[in-house]
Structure 1
Amino acid sequence: MAELPPEASGVALRLKPLAFDTYRENAVFLSRDCVAVRPERLAGARRVEVHAGSLRLLASPVICDDPALVAPGEIGAPQPLFRRLGLPAGALVEVAPAPPARSFAFVRDKVAGEVLTLPQLEAIARDLSEHRWSDIEVAAFLIACAAFMTPDETLDMTRAMISAGRRLDWDGRTVVDKHCIGGVPGNRTSLIVAPIVAAHGLLMPKTSSRAITSPAGTADTMEVLARVDLSEEEMRAVVERCGACVVWGGRVNLSPADDVLISVERPLAIDTPEQMVASILSKKVAAGSTRLLLDVPVGPSAKIRDRRAALRLKKLFEHVAGRLGLETEVLLTDVLEPVGFGVGPVLEARDVRAVLRGRPDAPADLREKSIRLAGRILEADPDVRGGQGEARARELLASGAAARKMDEIAKAQGPSPISGALGSRVHEVRAARAGRIAQVDCWRIATIARLAGAPTDPGAGVDLLHKVGDEVVEGAPLFRIHGSEPSDFQFALEAAEEDHGFRFAS
């Protein structure tokens, strides 16, 4: 390639795909001798803009001193950016320092105690979806909003997040969905509810997030069974063929601002009621849902600890959903322990399979809760009489129709890209005393499972051997810890030794 003049306006670089995975982050590798932009010009810039025709993407620059990796006339694109550009290797693109995001000034207003307006929130959501903010700036916004948000501000934030992304249209058909706010390990009811509902004949395009503060999100567990990283076109094809899907929402660009917020919420463990409502409802409206069932677990170690807080959250969901035109039912469910036996993607997928296959060792609490939730959704069908939804859900599960539907969905979505093997390192945590189990601390079990490596390591987690009400003798195994990485596994063992989370009746 002929040498290009340095810093010339509109100098193009040749696109070179690089075998790096930067997860959700857009990043570019530029030579220290880059012919399009001098690295010293980027010293004060957190982002660069990559131009390819009408497409503009923001990315974090990485300066490379190895010409074999990135030459002066090339731009190195790790896999996430290369996919988003949608261009072949060798295509010409341009790069320039990105201007600062003006919307960040509104965060300072929020810190000062102001209520943000819809136009301000729309500007914030738009810049978030275009990755114009650094993670530090996103964290500042989350913490400022955690201090206070009014109900109408939460509504406007939800609207802004919807407007910043794609919105699916299902040609006026009834589209049902179910979502749990989280906080209860092993609560993988969606993977049982979706095939039951689809086997009945209702439409359920289920988009799910990955874990924020838990050892596994719905998408993490489904990925053990099938591919979840589907494009919008692929997702539509699965739903039209099977009546349902269970996919990761981040790939289909539904409320992309929320994906950015979640990526920072996860390491900070921030999950406020207002952000939760905006996150969940923006995703559901963007996915085209017309009827939503929300599961809000309440218990001493759940995300929502008491009935009063649960009722406040219920009213906030109803306020925002009602103004958005989304028919929503909020169920408050009591919880004293994790649902099912497994905590972590592979272990939770095992429990889901056991329930769908009707195995005698399947966790009864996961089965019965799934039937209850599916029954409420099935009553959205005018042909199902009130009060008959649970009976219909139980019938579809017992007949094997739901299991066959899940097999159909998994086949349509494609084979899983990850291993379904459990972590090879195993340790049993034993009871220091005899007695009856009165409670299992959800937060503590989740912490141990995350320390073991879940969900980053799908085979890591906690396998519960006893439930509330069981009588155990001294020395009896309470649960097993699974892991792969020695350091993670040791962290989990130390946490379990400090407090294993099982509480015994006096």
Structure 2
Amino acid sequence: MAAQTDYLKIKYVAIDTDPENTVFLSRQCTVYRPEEFRALKKIEVSAGTKKLLATLVVTDDHTITAPDELGVGAPAFRRLGLAEGASVQIAQATPPRSLDAVRRKIGGEVMSAEDIKAIITDVATHRYSPMEIAAYLIASASFTTTDELLATTRAMAESGTEIKWNAPLIVDKHCIGGIPGNRTSMIVAPIVAAHGLKMPKTSSRAITSPSGTADTMEVLANVALSIDDMKRVVGLENACLAWGGHVNLSPADDVLITVERPLAIDTREQMVASILSKKLAAGSTHIVLDIPVGPTAKVRSQGDAVRLRKLMEYVSAEIGLVIDVVFTDGAQPVGRGVGPVLEARDVMAVLTNQPDAPADLRARSLLLAGRVLDFDPALRGGAGRVRAQELLDSGEALAAMERIIEAQGRAASPACAGELTAEIVATCDGVVGAMDCFRIARIARLAGAPTDKGAGIDLFKKIGDHARKGDPLYRIHSCFASDFEFAKAMAHEDSGVMVDGTAVRGSIKE
């Protein structure tokens, strides 16, 4: 056993280095010589059975780290799970053995299930650097066999929490994303709950989009539920709308995504493993999967959609999930709002049956809710859509949503739309012919969404609508001046809307 003099006290350093683990060692350290660790830059921090790989930064600033301390950045401190002042040791990090399998994959070999399990375990425990994760992703993107895909899905599901439910039928609905404002889950879940099926809906926060379901639901209620909280809410109200990251579902996927997105790696295989591993870990038995197809959506052709559907169906069958894949229109945003507050407004407009509620959001939600309800063996085949509309029209879905909000914890003070506004106006008379989902999402994100719940875009025109010169096409909402300027600059360059065959540029009204 090492002497007490081999230990350092950990100090929390309020620097966000996410996703990397970073620690700070004084150049004048009294316990270790920093030069011993400079070659590989990776060290292993340990305290009993707790171990963490981290990147080492040597500092000459004693206000960051004293000679007898190890400074620990925010992500590493959270993952290490120790109190400030706890004693730790450090040592040269041994590279993960699973990297040998990655090297073989780069060389063109097929990985075994054991190889994949080891890689995913090391990724989930943050033993891989972003560069090593990128190497694995790029090698897998070049080719992935169906056996590798199955092994990856299972390993990712097993890398974190696996929730078990005491019910034979646990339903879920998921969209592959890429369409701004497509907040159907917040309408489907209360409809399904009102019918009586169990739907523990876990959703991610936005990474590159203006809002995820968890971000929008957080406008109305607490979404950081523990597993016990989820089971309590579902037990009381049949459904919940929770943030999946809080319950550690498929954590390896969350790590992989941080590298996939900047590199724009989004293969069918990785998408399948990502989605289905989280559904498997969440305890779902039956899933409706929404695949929007459109020129600026994630899936841009019918052929690509069919190939993705077949892959989803194959893997689902192999891992014991029942899946119903639905193709929907991905040509334009859904609803009017893009961003948490504006999307929550649209959701509640549909649930309260307001006359001016977005018709497309209502119709799509009823379609998907109907497909989920069709899983109920007590319903006559194909009756789900009619039942869904009955529950929405009667107010039973709204009542279910209000109960879910109360059970999760109603938001103390709902956020409002950002007060900094500018309107993008039509530059000629004509018909709106196209909308770029990707660009509109980027403008909304530059405006501050989802960090600022009230930031985003309010759409006034959709494809097929007539516009006169000077008519507002959409309004940008921001809460922070610099975000406002960034969003306006991008919209000025190209608004993402075409009128009479011409892209609308350079026309902003404040």
Q: Same fold (TM over 0.5)?
A: yes
Query: In the superposition, relative to structure 1, how do residues 472 and 200 fare at CA in structure 2: closer, same or farther (>3 Å)?
Result: same
Partner AA of 1:206 in structure 2: K
Give the corresponding residue for 1:427: 422
1:474 is the counterpart of 2:479: no
- SS of 1:224's equivalent in the other structure is coil
Q: Secondary structure at the match of 1:225?
A: coil
- Partner of residue 340, structure 2: 345
Taking the aligned partners of 2:224 and 2:133, their CA distance within structure 1 comes to: 25
Alignment check: 8 A CA contact 1:374 1:393 kept? yes
Indicate whether 1:261 and 2:272 are aligned.
no
Counterpart for residue 295 of structure 2: 300
Query: Does the CA-based 8 Å contact 2:20-2:129 persist in structure 1?
Result: no
Cα distance in 2 between the residues matched to 1:486 and 1:269:
29
- After TM superposition, the structure 1 = structure 2 runs for residues 130-141 of structure 1, keeping only pairs within 5 Å, are 130-141=125-136
The CA deviation string for residues 390-447 of structure 1, in whole angstroms up to 9 with x for no partner, is 2222222233332233233333334559972333321100001111223322122122
What's the counterpart of residue 105 of structure 1?
100
- Alignment match of 1:488 (pick from 476, 483, 487): 483
Comparing 28-37 with 318-327, which one deviates more in the overlay?
Answer: 28-37
- In 2, Cα distance between equivalents of 1:61 and 1:239: 44
Instruction: Supply the distance in 1 between the matched residues of 2:497 and 2:318 (Cα, whole angstroms).
Output: 42
Distance (Å, rounded) in 1 between the aligned partners of 2:73 and 2:200: 30
> Counterpart of 1:247?
242
Q: Structure 1 residues 235 and 90 mapped into 2: Cα distance closer, same or farther (>3 Å)?
A: farther
Cα separation, 1, equivalents of 2:75 and 2:404:
26
| 1:311 correspondence with 2:306 | yes
Please show how residues 33-432 of structure 1 align to structure 2 within 5 Å. 33-414=28-409, 420-432=415-427
Asked if structure 2 preserves the Cα contact closer than 8 Å seen for 1:188 and 1:218, the reply is yes
CA contact (8 A) 2:219 2:344 kept: yes
SS of the residue aligned with 2:201? strand
Structure 2 SS opposite 1:397: helix
SS of the residue corresponding to residue 39 of structure 2 reads coil
1:502 to 484, 489, 497: 497
Question: What is the letter of the counterpart of residue 484 of structure 1?
Answer: C
Q: Distance in 1 between matches of 2:18 and 2:404?
A: 26
Q: Is the 8 A contact 1:47 1:132 kept in 2?
A: no
Give how far 1:81 is off.
4.2
Report sequence identity in percent. 57
Bigger drift between 446-455 and 252-261 goes to 446-455
How many pairs are equivalent?
Answer: 500
Q: Which moved more, 1:307-316 or 1:452-461?
A: 452-461
Please list the CA deviations of residues 57-101 of structure 1 after superposition, one character each: whole Å capped at 9, or x if unmatched: 333344444444433333444554444444444433333332112
What do residues 3-29 of structure 1 show as CA deviations (whole Å, max 9, x unaligned)?
xxxx95883333444555555544434
Moved more, 23-32 or 224-233: 23-32
- 1:486 and 1:13 map into 2 onto residues whose CA distance is 44
- CA change 1:263–1:52 in 2 (3 A) is same
- Conserved? CA contact 2:332–2:462, under 8 Å: yes
8 A Cα contact 1:431 1:478, kept in partner: yes
- Letter of the 2:468 partner, please give it: V
* Structure 1 residues without counterparts, runs of 5 or longer: 1-6
Contact between 1:10 and 1:94, CA under 8 Å: does it hold in 2?
no
Q: Tell me: CA distance 1:9–1:45, structure 2 relative to 1, closer, same or farther (3 Å).
A: farther
Moved more, 383-392 or 223-232: 223-232
Distance 1:223 1:358 in 2: 22
Counterpart-to-counterpart distance in 2, 1:11 and 1:416:
48
Partner of residue 507, structure 2: none
The question of whether the paired residues in 1 share the 8 Å contact of 2:339 and 2:444 is answered with yes
Letter in 2 for 1:93: V
Task: Confirm or deny: 8 A CA contact 1:122 1:160 kept in the other structure.
Answer: yes
Please name the residue that 2:508 is paired with: none
Q: Which moved more, 1:83-92 or 1:174-183?
A: 83-92
- Structure 2: runs of 5 or more not aligned: 502-510
**Further displaced range: 170-179 or 181-190:** 170-179
Aligned residue number for residue 3 of structure 1: none
User: 1:238/1:73 Cα in 2 relative to 1: closer, same or farther (>3 Å)?
Assistant: farther
**1:441–1:502 CA contact under 8 A, matched in 2:** yes
State the TM-score, normalizing by the size of structure 1. Answer: 0.91
SS at the partner of 1:463?
Answer: strand
- Map Cα deviations across residues 268-293 of structure 1 (whole Å, 9 max, x no partner): 33322111101000110011110011
Distance 1:96 1:416 in 2: 45
Give the drift of 1:185: 0.9
Partner of residue 4, structure 1: none
- Against the structure 1 CA distance between its residues 38 and 410, is the aligned structure 2 distance closer, same or farther, given a 3 Å change threshold? farther
For structure 1, which segment, 324-333 or 495-504, has the greater mean C-alpha deviation from structure 2 after superposition? 495-504
Q: CA deviation at 1:126?
A: 0.7
The alpha-carbon distance between structure 1 residues 123 and 10, as it changes in their structure 2 partners (threshold 3 A), is farther
| Contact 2:429–2:500 (Cα < 8 Å) also in 1 | no
Asked whether the equivalents of residues 210 and 220 of structure 1 are also in contact (C-alpha less than 8 Å), the reply is yes
Q: 1:186 to 1:422 in 2, by over 3 A?
A: same
Moved more, 241-250 or 75-84: 75-84
Aligned letter for 1:469? Answer: G
Which of 457, 460, 474 aligns to 2:452? It is 457
Alignment RMSD (CA, Å) = 2.5
Q: What amino acid sits opposite 1:280 in the alignment?
A: I
Query: What CA distance in whole angstroms lies between the structure 1 residues aligned with 2:140 and 2:401?
Result: 39
Take 1:230 and 1:22, find their aligned partners in 2: how far apart are those partners? 25
1:445-468 alpha-carbon deviations (Å, 9 max, x no partner)? 122223323333333222111122
